[in-house]
Amino acid sequence: MISCRSNLGQNLLTGKIPPSLGRLSSLRILSLLENGLSGTLPPELGKLSNLEELWLPSNNLRGDLPKDYENLKNLTIFGIGGNYLSGPIPTFIAKWVNLYALILRNCSITGSIPPYIGSWNQLAYLDLSFNDLTGGIPNTFKKLFLYELYLTGNMLNGTLPDWIYINVRDKGDLAYNEFIFPEPEAHKNLPNNNSRINLTFPEEIMREYCPAGQKKSQLTTVNLRGKSYTLKQVKVATRNFSPRNVIGTGRFGTVYKAELPDQTVAVKMLSSQSKHVIDQIGTEVYALTTLKHENIVEFLDGYSKKDLNLLIYEYMEKGSLERALFDANSSTRLDWPTRVRICHGIAKGLKYLHEDNPSRKIVHRNIKPSNILLDGNLNAKVSDLGLAKLYDEENPYKFIQEKGTVVYMAPEYAMRKAITEKVDVFSFGIVLLEIISGQTNAKYEANQETEFLLDTAIVLHSKGRLSELVDKQMPNEHVVMKQAKIILELAMRCVDQSPTLRPTMSEVVSELERISN
């Protein structure tokens, strides 16, 4: 007997959706949600004329909905949120007149909302949020009586019609669009009803629709520079953690740009779900709010629950030093005075952590160009404080094995996990070499012979030819070459194999200040 249901959701499936599924003519429910499926949607699924529910959210699917899907006239639920579709909502789905729920959330769709949706008499749940939709809400929608309507995070505009308050029976969210509120007598008590819209319905509860019918209440607020925001507002500001808002990825998680109404921040979603990391975030990371220094990325607030751990920082307009130095597509250009200032800024940040922090000495453990961020004026700030410690304790050997991290690691740390402030000094020395040379030390492949920048520097230093490392893009001027030689010599002292022979960050700062002056 062939089942009429196929629930393959959350099974870590990868690759493309098999076209052979289109031969399961009796299939009524197909769920492939929250896997790693990629590629385009197979047209063959359009042959499933008996299909009533099709769940495809949270994969890596791309392209358009195939025209063959117009045959899916028995669909009651179609969910494909969190994928990479393109173009407008196709006209052929007007034939899906039996739809109860349509979820096209966070799909990169463009264009306007099709008026034909207003003719679907059975429609109760509509989610078109976090896309690039324009225009207004079609007048045909006044024929609908929706239970839930989500149009959050688009570019919709126009005056919000009066009937929207009546026709949406339960919950709705139209935040982060360009709507203008009317002023009907019956709705004078609604918030912001005489200004450009923020939320059209009370925002205290965000209800998320899913196949199991689960609903979550999220009441948590975070405080960012004296202003409170709900967790929901933070999510909306990242377009629900959209790939389009990603500004950085790394071992500890993914960083998203969050554009709130009156400020922009960076939100790091931590990747670990281990109980240790979750338990320690409160004591180890939130304590970092006491750190205040011009060369430390400001930690603003955070949120920590079992399934979601967020750290919120000031937004750094120019991104990472790694990108500025090594990404050919970066528009940021670092001239010689800027490079010297960046070296000095990193050193001052580390000196503060090692020696000037009033509460305790902090060893960063993971200094590298991707953890040095640049503001709009190309001032350098150290980021990711405290995270290496948490993840080290969770898995002390995984950190060492990671490509791109080991090449900045002091030998005593890599081999014996010996931790003093001198491990940061060693990593800083590598970063100095990279800044002055414009070359990366991170071109490392496991089990392959690799020539590291540090190896090259050691050889040139022994031959008295260290100045050959200076980036050829820098002007061949006496002052530049003199300063570069001093910084390169300082870098070689920082990367000494013996921790006791490495300078302190106070000594480093003093030497760089003499150069800057």
Q: What is the 3-state secondary structure (H, E, C) of 135-174?
A: ECCCHHHHHCCEEEEECCCCEEEEECCCCHHHHEEEEEEC
Q: What per-residue confidence (pLDDT) applies to 50?
A: 92
Distance CA 68, CA 96 (A): 13
**What is the per-residue pLDDT across 6-42, written as a single tens digit (0 to 9) for each?**
667 666 788 999 999 989 888 999 988 877 788 999 9
Distance CA 347, CA 503 (A): 12
Q: Which residues are annotated as a binding site for ATP?
A: 268
Mean of all residue pLDDT scores within the chain: 81
**Cα(102)–Cα(461) distance, integer angstroms:** 65
35 vs 382, which has greater pLDDT?
382
Distances, alpha carbon 47 to alpha carbons 12, 209, 354, in Å? 26, 27, 65
From CA 199, how far away is CA 484, in angstroms rounded? 55
State the Cα–Cα distance between residues 139 and 129, nearest whole angstrom: 19
Query: H-helix or E-strand containing 15?
Result: strand 14-15
Give the CATH architecture of domain 5-187. Alpha-Beta Horseshoe (3.80)
Please identify, in words, the CATH class of the domain defined by 321-516: mainly alpha
Mean pLDDT score, 346-366: 87
Kindly give, in sequence order, each residue whose CB lies less than 8 Å from that of residue 328, ignoring residues fewer than 6 positions away. Answer: none
Q: Which of 128-142, 377-391, 401-415 has the highest mean pLDDT?
A: 128-142
* Domain map (residue ranges) of the chain: 5-187, 221-314, 321-516
pLDDT of residue 447: 53
* 7 DSSP β-pair partners: 31
Domain 221-314 part of CATH 3.30.200.20: yes
Q: Per mean pLDDT, which range of 123-132, 174-183, 194-203, 363-372 is the poorest?
A: 194-203
471: pLDDT confidence band, cut at 50, 70 and 90? very high
> Residues marked as binding?
268
SS3 for 378?
Answer: coil
Question: 262 is written with which tokens?
Answer: 């009156």
Tokens of 208: 């998320």
Q: Encoding tokens for residue 59? A: 């994969």
